[in-house]
């Protein structure tokens, strides 16, 4: 870390480009994390459909909330390593803007 970055006075663009190499889409971890996200999304969808007809099922609500929290953690970690999962402000981007860079998660 340079003296400027340890003091916190490196411009954002420079600090982000000095962060080191990015993990590349297509490595084994990339696909493993996408599969984990898909599995959690499936559970959340199924629980959501169940709760539509059983809104008073406390155990299912607790499970839904636990899975929603797990998804947030997985998504945040994925985006730190590989870039945004969604756009329109639902995911942050590093410099340069990452959304136009393929492959997008649904293309793999």
Digit-coded pLDDT (tens) for 5-27 = 444 444 444 434 434 335 665 68
Collect all residues with Cβ–Cβ distance below 8 Å to 87 and sequence separation of at least 6.
99
Average pLDDT value over all residues in the chain: 76
**Taking a C-beta distance cutoff of 8 angstroms, is the pair 14, 8 a contact?**
no
- Would the pTM count as exceeding 0.75? no
Give the per-residue pLDDT at 66: 95
Give the per-residue pLDDT at 76: 92
Give the per-residue pLDDT at 41: 95
Residues of the chain scoring pLDDT < 50: 1-21
Give the per-residue pLDDT at 100: 64
């Amino acid at each position: 870390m340079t003296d400027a970055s340890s003091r916190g006075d490196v411009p954002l663009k420079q600090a982000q480009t000095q962060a080191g190499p990015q993990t590349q889409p297509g490595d084994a971890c990339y696909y493993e994390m996408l599969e984990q996200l898909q599995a959690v999304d499936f559970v959340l969808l199924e629980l959501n459909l169940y709760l539509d007809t059983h809104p008073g099922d406390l155990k299912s609500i607790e499970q839904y909330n636990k899975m929603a929290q797990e998804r947030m953690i997985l998504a945040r970690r994925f985006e730190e390593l590989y870039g945004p999962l969604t756009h329109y402000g639902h995911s942050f981007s590093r410099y340069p803007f990452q959304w136009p860079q393929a492959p997008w998660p649904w293309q793999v």
